[in-house]
Chains A and B, each alone.
Chain A
């Protein structure tokens, strides 16, 4: 079984600031991390590899420094990594990103399963997974918390939705986006870390992928980010903390102070 995991480097959300004048993300000095949900996708792939004999390739589209993210994942035990990097890819929206990723997966060939995180924490769209599957014309399932191979061509997946749990049978090749319930990502091992340090990571651009510059990056994007802003803080909210009794007592006091009828 050949599994491809798509990962993305994102700014460390714990430290993200919005520039108050330009209303855009301040990326300077912000460390990059691997999108946390993608690490669950990596873990899910490794679990399949533990149980059977899978080969895992991890791919990312990003600037040259995204190679760091690939080495980090190699150190956790995936077999190979591939960087999709080209000036032409810059400014891609989810569609242009999916065009690029799906072209790479098609070129890799013989892929049985594609795993993605449920969404990236910087854009929060959750679109890339389903788009890639659509472009590849394969079935997909999102927000998956559990998967079991049924036979060589089928997987049983359990999805978590707001309404409840759904169980699906999927024929492979398929794409799955996972949530954190698949299992806590394992840490690197020393042997994998040493291998990762030396591993050759091929870089594919539009030439290797046979893509037209007009179909990728900003040129190939249907959407553009015009402005990013954080909504003004609402100051009229109070968060009540403490034990249940304390919370009730405080709430009662607030209502009383606000002269709510009947209190």
Chain B
């Protein structure tokens, strides 16, 4: 379908698709099996200028927005969302700096992220703080010209691989949500170490580790913005990054649909290709409808979100929830269409089904996204004076 993308946007798609086809597809099974971090592919993506799509030109980026970033993520995800997650998570880690960082912080960190020279990561979740972000216990205490960080962050994508970490910590426990602040922590900072690499159901090409802060001493100019705006920064960051998760879903759905249709046209049972059976056709039709719908919603919402609208949180949640759910369904149906072959590791749909599940969990579970949408609707309608009855 023609989404009336600009010439530049089409080039982004083309280039990302070429990388997916030539560099990711041939190695995805191996990366999954061996749980290898895809450094070589990260270097290809860096050399292709894709890490800086959403970063302004004055900080070494390409000056695009959410849509441009999503176009690249979608194409990469078509081959492997483990690799694409590692790519996208660098953006998640950089957004807190881009949104609220000082000019000096932006000048210092964003060009390196844009060039793909250093990966970024985002450290929010803790063992006691998953959906309930206010449960975080990591603290940052001012000590002269430094802050001392103590606490653990759990399940951090790119943990151990990235060099730049945006970390949320409490600067004033008494202030509740208004007492949290983001800090930039660099790999190698004293008192900063990593836990073991997690074993996962899917996206096994991505690295997930614990971040451990034991009297981690960082200069005070690593505070992002000012004390107390950490939660606002986290929410605004999610508004920018959740569409990227949706793009992972759209790409994965398309990848699974492509394989399912191709297989159904070739596989013969009862003397006919199985695509001639209505039960298969309807399944494929539903997969195609949902895939295209999730793409259409993503592109339309991404364009809208790039205008900095007031309803960004609601839309970011909508695209994340919809395309995540669709990807899970489409991948599961693809396995069903491939039957026993679909269940075997010899065919990529088995991995796609394992991978898809994460889309409903990270960057806010889909339940939490629905909560957000519900709360936003409640707010929105409270402002409307007329009645619809």
Q: Which residues of A contact B103 (CB under 8 A)?
A: none
Contact among A188, A191, A194 for B18, CB-based, below 8 A: A188
Interface size class for chain B? Answer: 10 to 19
B12-28 interface mask toward A, CB cutoff 8 Å, 1 = contact, 0 = none?
Answer: 10110011001100000
- B47 lies within 8 A of chain A by Cβ: yes
Residues A190 and B12 in contact, CB atoms below 8 Å apart:
yes
- B49 lies within 8 A of chain A by Cβ: yes
Q: Which residues of B contact A189 (CB under 8 A)?
A: 15, 47-49
A29 to B356 alpha-carbon distance, docked (Å): 39
A65 to B22 alpha-carbon distance, docked (Å): 25
A188 to B13 alpha-carbon distance, docked (Å): 12
- B289 lies within 8 A of chain A by Cβ: no
A189 to B62 alpha-carbon distance, docked (Å): 11
Taking CB as reference atom, which chain B residue is nearest A77?
Answer: B47
Q: How far is the CB of A102 from chain B (nearest CB, A)?
A: 33
A191 to B62 alpha-carbon distance, docked (Å): 8
Q: How far is the CB of A89 from chain B (nearest CB, A)?
A: 31
Q: In the complex, how many residues of chain A place their beta carbon closer than 8 angstroms to a beta carbon of chain B? A: 9
- B145 lies within 8 A of chain A by Cβ: no
- B285 lies within 8 A of chain A by Cβ: no
Residues B7 and A190 in contact, CB atoms below 8 Å apart:
no
Taking CB as reference atom, which chain A residue is nearest B14?
Answer: A193
CB contacts between A and B, total, < 8 Å:
33
- A255 lies within 8 A of chain B by Cβ: no
A187 to B24 alpha-carbon distance, docked (Å): 13
A186-228 interface mask toward B, CB cutoff 8 Å, 1 = contact, 0 = none?
Answer: 1111110110010000000000000000000000000000000
Contact among B7, B19, B53 for A187, CB-based, below 8 A: B19
Q: Which residues of B contact A188 (CB under 8 A)?
A: 15, 18, 48
Residues A193 and B19 in contact, CB atoms below 8 Å apart:
no
Residue with the greatest number of chain B CB neighbours at <10 A, chosen from A186, A188, A189, A190? A190
Residues A190 and B62 in contact, CB atoms below 8 Å apart:
yes
- B8 lies within 8 A of chain A by Cβ: yes
- A-B contact list, 15 entries, CB within 8 Å: A187-B15, A187-B18, A187-B19, A187-B22, A187-B23, A187-B47, A189-B47, A190-B11, A190-B12, A190-B49, A193-B14, A193-B15, A194-B11, A197-B7, A197-B11
* New A-B pairs, 19, CB < 8 Å, besides A191-B62, A193-B14: A186-B47, A187-B15, A187-B18, A187-B19, A187-B22, A187-B23, A187-B44, A187-B48, A188-B18, A189-B15, A189-B48, A190-B15, A190-B48, A190-B49, A190-B62, A191-B49, A194-B8, A194-B11, A197-B7
* Ranked 5 nearest A-B pairs via Cβ: A190-B49, A189-B49, A189-B48, A193-B11, A191-B49
